[in-house]
């Protein structure tokens, strides 16, 4: 049985990188480049009819922000996984992109194998991130965790807010226990339950229990929704 081909579109203003990404995709056995776009306007107009499985999106475009493109495209591409590939690695840009609808975030330069692995991971429901980005997600989460003081039977809540020139996000988030935070960190990095269990020295079923608690506290129903749920209060 042949492996399904992953249809990928690319939005990148650098002509050299557009060619490089296109060549990498077409040379891969399980990927196909279905379109390349140099501007946000071209992307917003040309990508919806293609309905790619994965969309590679740069942030710095000549006529708009890649984040704005993601926000405009996401409602029309419910089955498309969006992967940011950019030089920007500041928390503000990262979280704005995730809040707009991105499912992964890689920092340039990106090697061939890293790009293909991220495409496959995001297509299968993972949340690929460059290590520096994953660390900043967790660091920001921990920095905004409210001081709980003495433990009580009820988890405390805190309203976390952030404002930028274009975005203001507000969300009530329950605090996570230390072990839940560890599991969350591994989920954000794209670990499977099996790999997380090995990393933490606990059983796979125990990981599942922690994941369920995290889902309940963050009000999500899947791994993919975790980052979308986290980025709003953290941004």
CA-nearest of 177, 183, 227, 226 to 205 is 183
Give the sheet arrangement for strand 31-37, strand by strand. Answer: 31-37, 6-11, 54-57, 81-86, 104-107
Instruction: Read off the tokens for 219.
Output: 């009000």
Determine the Cα–Cα distance for residues 178 and 201; give it in Å rounded to an integer. 15
The confidence score (pLDDT) of residue 156 equals 32
pLDDT tens per residue, range 166-194: 333 333 334 677 788 888 888 777 777 77
Tell me the domains of the chain and their CATH numbers: 6-128 (3.40.50.2300), 133-234 (1.10.10.10)
The confidence score (pLDDT) of residue 48 equals 96
Instruction: Read off the tokens for 31.
Output: 């990927």
**Residue numbers in the chain where pLDDT is lower than 70:** 1-2, 136-175, 215-235
The residue behind tokens 């475009």 is: 61
DSSP string, 71-135: HHHGGG-TT-EEEEEES---HHHHHHHHHHT--EEEESS--HHHHHHHHHHHHTT---B-HHHHH
C-alpha neighbours within 13 Å on the C-beta side of residue 61: 26
DSSP string, 182-227: HHHHHHHTT--HHHHHHHHTS-HHHHHHHHHHHHHHHT-SSHHHHH
pTM score of the predicted model:
0.61
């Amino acid at each position: 049985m042949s492996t399904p081909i992953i249809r990928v579109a690319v939005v990148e203003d650098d002509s050299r990188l557009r060619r490089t990404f296109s060549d990498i995709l077409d040379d891969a056995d399980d990927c196909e480049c279905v379109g390349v776009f140099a501007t946000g306007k071209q992307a917003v107009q040309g990508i919806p009819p293609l309905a790619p499985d994965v969309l590679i999106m740069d942030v710095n475009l000549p006529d708009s922000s890649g984040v704005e493109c993601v926000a405009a495209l996401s409602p029309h591409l419910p089955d498309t996984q969006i992967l940011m590939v950019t030089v920007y690695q500041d928390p503000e840009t990262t979280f704005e992109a995730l809040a707009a609808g991105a499912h992964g975030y890689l920092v340039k330069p990106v090697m061939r194998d890293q790009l293909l692995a991220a495409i496959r991971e995001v297509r299968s429901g993972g949340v690929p991130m460059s290590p520096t980005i994953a660390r900043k997600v967790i660091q920001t989460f921990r920095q905004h965790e409210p001081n709980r003081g003495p433990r009580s039977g009820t988890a405390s809540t805190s309203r976390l807010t952030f404002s930028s020139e274009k975005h203001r996000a507000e969300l009530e988030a329950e605090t996570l226990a230390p072990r839940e935070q560890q599991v969350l960190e591994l989920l954000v990095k794209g670990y499977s339950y099996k790999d997380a269990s090995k990393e933490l020295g606990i059983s796979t079923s125990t990981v599942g229990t922690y994941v369920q608690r995290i889902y309940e506290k963050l009000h999500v129903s899947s791994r993919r929704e975790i980052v979308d749920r986290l980025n709003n209060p953290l941004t």
